[in-house]
């Protein structure tokens, strides 16, 4: 099993596939860009951060007969937006997107089946120095890897990507297609 792709990268791919932004332009992993760092990055962003988890967890996946080894990862989603109401709406859309069961994401020939759940309700934590609203929510996900690339669920979203490096910062600046 290959768990080389960090769960936040998979979450970014799911959010992109659901039309919530573009990876590397408005969706980032591990580092939220400052608006002054580049002209192409706007004020409204989504950033996903690792916050720990449990490795190689055995999970009962159906009727106490099908046990699989998976990985439970915790992560924080942070939304930055010029508008409080728009930021709140984006966070609600993220929650709806991530709480769908059994999302499939394919990276480097490995199919990752990801199911997420919300750990705390989204909240507005502050406004930054540019008066942009900042919202956060913490999620957990369980992820199973099928290195054959075959989807394990019939109702899924699949996306192709390139993850040639395990650095979160590298993921936040790479572009890939969905």
The domain that holds 36 is classified in CATH as 3.30.2000.30
Say if 51 falls within a structural domain. Answer: yes
What number of other Cβ atoms are within 10 A of residue 148's Cβ? 9
Question: Given this model, what pLDDT does residue 52 score?
Answer: 85
Say if 175 falls within a structural domain. Answer: no
Beta bridge partners, 76, equal 49, 138
What number of other Cβ atoms are within 10 A of residue 91's Cβ? 23
Say if 34 falls within a structural domain. Answer: yes
Question: Given this model, what pLDDT does residue 64 score?
Answer: 53
CA 123, 124, 126, 128 dihedral sign is positive
Say if 171 falls within a structural domain. Answer: no
Number of domains in the chain: 1
- φ/ψ of 39, rounded to 5, equals -75, -25
Cα–Cα distance for residue pair 153/137, rounded to 1 Å: 27
Indicate the pTM of the whole model.
0.75
Say if 2 falls within a structural domain. Answer: no
**How many CA atoms are closer than 13 Å to the CA of 19, on its beta-carbon side?**
0
51-81 residue pLDDT tens: 988 766 666 555 555 556 678 889 999 999 9
Say if 91 falls within a structural domain. Answer: yes
| Closest to 123 measured CA to CA, from 97, 96, 82, 84 | 84
Say if 173 falls within a structural domain. Answer: no
Cα 115 vs. chain centroid, distance in angstroms?
Answer: 11
What residues of the chain score a pLDDT lower than 50? 1, 149-178
- Supply the range of the domain harboring residue 156: 7-166
Burial of 40 (0-12, 13-18, 19+ CB in 10 A): exposed
Say if 176 falls within a structural domain. Answer: no
Start-to-end CA span in the chain (Å)? 23
Question: Which helix (H) or strand (E) is 88 found in, with range?
Answer: helix 84-98
Question: Given this model, what pLDDT does residue 88 score?
Answer: 95
Q: How many residues does the chain have?
A: 178
């Amino acid at each position: 099993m290959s768990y080389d792709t960090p769960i936040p990268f998979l979450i970014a791919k799911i959010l992109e596939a659901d039309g919530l932004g573009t990876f590397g332009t408005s969706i980032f992993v591990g580092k939220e860009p400052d608006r002054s760092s580049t002209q192409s990055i706007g004020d409204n962003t989504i950033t996903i951060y690792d916050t720990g988890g449990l490795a190689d967890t055995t999970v009962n996946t159906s009727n106490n007969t099908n046990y699989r080894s998976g990985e439970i990862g915790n992560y924080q989603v942070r939304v930055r937006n010029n508008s409080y109401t728009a930021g709140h709406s984006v966070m609600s859309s993220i929650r709806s997107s991530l709480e769908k069961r059994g999302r499939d994401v394919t990276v480097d020939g490995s199919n990752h089946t990801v199911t997420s759940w919300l750990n705390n309700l989204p909240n507005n934590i502050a406004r930054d120095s540019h008066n942009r609203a900042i919202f956060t929510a913490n999620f957990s996900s369980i992820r199973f890897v099928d290195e054959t690339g075959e989807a394990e669920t019939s109702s899924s979203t699949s996306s192709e990507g390139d993850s040639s490096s395990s650095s979160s910062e590298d993921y936040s600046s790479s572009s890939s297609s969905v």
